[in-house]
């Protein structure tokens, strides 16, 4: 690389840094920058376009174009050459801009006299901030050195934008980390919370992107990369790693030992960037390249690259993961994703959780439900926007997070929380009363649980028992299989805390989206319909047998209720039930006390079991409908797919008719039946389920009050009549007519 080019680049960055350090508003700084770049690169035009919103770019400063166009010229993402740069995250370099496909002529700018065009993205670690453009009258293509130099300048502008140096009260100036932002994601766990951000992986902010001594910076980057390589080798030397962890660390080592990666960062430093800015520039460039790749495996390597770059930045800054920030008293956890054990470590201190990734059935969602913490998932880019201590509102009901909300939004949100709190007071007065309807029908309301921490809610919520205790959480949060004695002790504590109330333990439900850290993951095209739940238990009977033994010993002569998940046919239930009876016989022969009475049930989660032989309904002690899975299989709508899972209504009359068939079959054999799932905890859905004959509903503790309050003020026979009327009228769903009928019911 020519020394002259290196010196010119460093000189430009120093001038840029000095210009940014001068007093003045954000617009003044941008105006000075465009003049400086045009002068240094010998071009007639330099313009800066910044995103006004996620889809709109705005001309915010220019040297050479018509000044009256500033803050007036706008274009959509992908529109014109500037929009193409922003969409592709790649430079556009042409000697004949008007002749380029997609060129958009903007007469207000006066740019028609300029032939050559070079635009580069202003981006920071995948976050699109804007576009930097230079133009000349002379028809020429810009050299690789000029493109490189402009990319380095764009990197500095990105860091300066991140630090808010272009913030002003003038129209169009974008203030990162200061403006209110709403993230529309998906509901992971219902509920509402107000608090302040606590980042699970604090981001390192580069405060000095320009360096004076490139040789010193190269020494720093080489030392930090060397330290990074040693730390990865040390991790790989650990004896406790499983195959997947080794694969991830091997990918880290491949990146860390890439000569090209280090060489490119050293070149960036020679251009004038600090070591930290060079790391982020290469991280952004690699992200831009990988995001264009269709191969899913290569795209997943983005996470490896980000983690590695963040490790390197922490070494360079000396921050480590501990940035010195104190957790706020009302923390809302913000993260890209998080494992169940890490979330449990935070425990009930958290007011809410907002994730960029995750799913409704993920481990984090399961733990959030167990802890009754509002959870929003799929809140894209929130980790790039949020800072520790930012004010945040979490609306788990709508799947929305408001970051740094305006006061009017915060007031409305607080009113909503206050109304919910007032309603909870009313529900508390019903705690000791049964869910008996106006027509004299009593519906048993039970709660779902999965942790010891859930059990105090049993008394406080007014639940009659635990209709579902998820046993997989104790397996998911460990790095190795729990021992039988440990499980027996835990299950005994659960029974003790229930104080004689019925607890239905669901045996291990793994597979699909719940993969144990110490089990080899199965590559399946459709894991939700693959090797999971009871199928794993019957194929790997040692684990199921150990769990059954732990439950028997935990009962120690007390009543025991257990049920098997994902039973699809009679033979599966017979085999699983026989295993339990053999273990009962074995424990009795060893002189151990066995449970009395013993209930063995099945979860009906697939349509096939609804059509099982009569012998199944006669053999099982009870049936619990797993509504979440049953609904996804009935409608062929993946519950993890946001595009389809909300498309279908639980009150669809075809689904209600199907459920009524199950009610009738259980009634024929006198088999107790309950419904367990999200819909059981939604008052209108719960009313419909009770109206078609469900006499047991199991839900999260916070839903018991609202459901009981509604059931106690309605007549189920009338509600059933409304559903039948909707069916007779040829309606697709009973919801409209049911809601109209409900609006006419007295509120007392």
Question: Residues with catalytic annotation?
Answer: 363, 676
Nearest of 471, 477, 515, 474 to residue 342 by alpha carbon: 477
How many angstroms separate the CA atoms of 748 and 746, rounded? 6
**Tokens 């910044």, located at residue:** 50
> What's the distance, CA 439 to chain centroid?
43
CA distances from 487 to 376, 472, 484, 584 (A): 31, 11, 5, 17
Report the chain's terminal Cα–Cα distance, integer Å.
82
How many angstroms separate the CA atoms of 121 and 25, rounded? 23
Polymer length of the chain: 748
Q: Are 622 and 672 in contact (CB under 8 A)?
A: yes
How many angstroms separate the CA atoms of 360 and 363, rounded? 9
Q: Are 121 and 78 in contact (CB under 8 A)?
A: no
Task: Provide the CB-side half-sphere exposure for 31 (13 A, CA).
Answer: 11
Nearest of 43, 198, 712, 38 to residue 430 by alpha carbon: 712
Q: Are 2 and 143 in contact (CB under 8 A)?
A: no
The beta strands (E) that lie in 637-731 are given as 673-676, 696-699
Nearest of 351, 316, 320, 317 to residue 333 by alpha carbon: 351
**Tokens 């206050």, located at residue:** 418
CA distances from 320 to 228, 306, 316, 699 (A): 12, 15, 9, 42
Q: Are 446 and 696 in contact (CB under 8 A)?
A: yes
Q: Is beta strand 331-335 parallel, antiparallel or unpaired with respect to 352-355?
A: parallel
202: which DSSP letter?
P
Nearest of 278, 282, 272, 383 to residue 332 by alpha carbon: 383
Nearest of 245, 170, 222 to residue 479 by alpha carbon: 245
């Amino acid at each position: 690389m020519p020394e002259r080019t290196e010196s010119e680049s460093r000189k430009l960055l120093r001038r840029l840094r000095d210009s940014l350090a001068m007093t003045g508003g954000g617009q003044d700084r941008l105006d000075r920058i465009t003049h400086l770049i045009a002068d240094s690169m010998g071009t007639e035009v330099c313009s800066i376009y910044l995103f006004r919103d996620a889809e709109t770019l705005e001309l915010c400063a220019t040297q050479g174009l018509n000044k009256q166009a500033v803050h007036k010229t706008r274009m959509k993402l992908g529109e014109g050459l500037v929009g193409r740069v922003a969409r592709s995250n790649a430079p556009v370099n042409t000697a004949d801009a008007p002749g380029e496909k997609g060129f958009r002529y903007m007469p207000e700018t006066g740019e028609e006299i300029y032939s050559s065009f070079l635009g580069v993205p202003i981006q920071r670690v995948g976050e699109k901030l804007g576009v930097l453009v230079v133009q000349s009258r002379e028809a020429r293509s810009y050299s690789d050195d000029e493109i490189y130099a402009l990319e380095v300048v764009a990197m500095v502008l990105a860091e300066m934008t991140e630090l808010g140096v272009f913030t002003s009260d003038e129209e169009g100036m974008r203030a990162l980390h200061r403006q209110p932002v709403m993230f529309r994601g998906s509901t992971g766990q219902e509920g509402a919370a107000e608090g302040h951000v606590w980042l699970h992986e604090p981001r390192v902010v580069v405060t000095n992107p320009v360096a004076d001594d490139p040789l010193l910076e190269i020494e720093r980057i080489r030392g930090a990369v060397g330290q990074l390589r040693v730390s990865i080798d040390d991790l790989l030397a650990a004896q406790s790693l499983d195959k997947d962890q080794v694969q991830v660390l091997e990918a880290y080592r491949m990146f860390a030992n890439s000569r090209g990666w280090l060489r490119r960062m050293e070149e960036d430093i020679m251009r004038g960037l600090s070591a930290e800015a060079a790391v982020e520039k290469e991280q952004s460039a690699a992200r831009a390249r990988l995001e264009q790749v269709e191969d899913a495996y290569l795209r997943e390597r983005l996470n490896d690259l980000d983690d590695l770059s963040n490790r390197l930045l922490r070494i360079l800054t000396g921050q480590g993961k501990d940035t010195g920030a104190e957790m706020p008293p009302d923390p809302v956890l913000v993260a890209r994703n998080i494992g169940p054990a890490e979330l449990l470590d935070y425990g009930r201190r958290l007011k809410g959780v907002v994730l960029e990734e995750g799913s409704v059935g993920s481990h984090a969602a399961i733990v959030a439900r167990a802890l009754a913490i509002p959870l929003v998932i799929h809140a894209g880019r929130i980790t790039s926007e949020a800072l520790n201590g930012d004010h945040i509102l979490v609306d788990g009901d709508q799947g929305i997070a408001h970051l740094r909300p305006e006061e009017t939004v915060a007031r409305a949100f607080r009113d909503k929380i206050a109304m919910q709190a007032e309603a909870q007071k009313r529900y508390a007065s019903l705690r000791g009363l049964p869910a008996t309807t106006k027509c004299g029908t009593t519906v048993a309301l039970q709660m779902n649980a999965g942790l010891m921490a859930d059990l105090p809610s049993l008394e406080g919520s007014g639940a009659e028992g635990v209709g579902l205790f998820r046993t997989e959480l104790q397996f998911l949060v460990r790095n190795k299989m729990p021992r039988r004695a440990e499980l027996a002790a835990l299950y005994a504590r659960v029974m003790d805390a229930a104080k004689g109330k019925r607890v239905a333990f669901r045996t291990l439900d793994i597979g699909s989206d719940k993969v144990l850290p110490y089990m080899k993951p199965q590559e399946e095209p459709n894991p939700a319909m693959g090797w999971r739940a009871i199928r794993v238990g019957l194929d790997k009977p040692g684990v199921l047998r150990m769990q059954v033994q732990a439950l028997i010993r935990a009962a120690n002569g007390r009543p025991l209720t257990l049920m098997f998940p994902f039973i699809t046919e009679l033979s599966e239930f017979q085999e699983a039930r026989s295993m339990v009876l053999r273990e009962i016989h074995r424990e009795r022969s060893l002189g151990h006390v066995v449970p009395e009475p013993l209930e063995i049930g099945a979860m009906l989660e697939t349509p096939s079991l609804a059509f099982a032989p009569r012998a199944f309904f006669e053999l099982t002690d009870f049936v619990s409908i797993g509504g979440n899975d049953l609904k996804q299989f009935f409608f062929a709508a993946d519950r993890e797919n946001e595009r389809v899972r909300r498309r279908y209504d639980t009150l669809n009359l075809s689904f209600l008719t199907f459920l009524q068939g199950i009610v009738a079959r259980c009634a024929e054999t006198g088999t107790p039946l309950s419904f367990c799932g999200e819909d059981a905890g939604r008052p209108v859905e719960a009313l419909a389920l009770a109206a078609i004959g469900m006499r047991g509903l199991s839900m999260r503790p916070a839903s018991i009050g609202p459901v009981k309050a509604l059931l106690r003020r309605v007549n189920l026979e009338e509600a059933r009549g409304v559903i039948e009327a909707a069916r007779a009228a040829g309606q697709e769903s009973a919801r409209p007519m049911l809601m109209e009928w409900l609006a006419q019911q007295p509120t007392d």
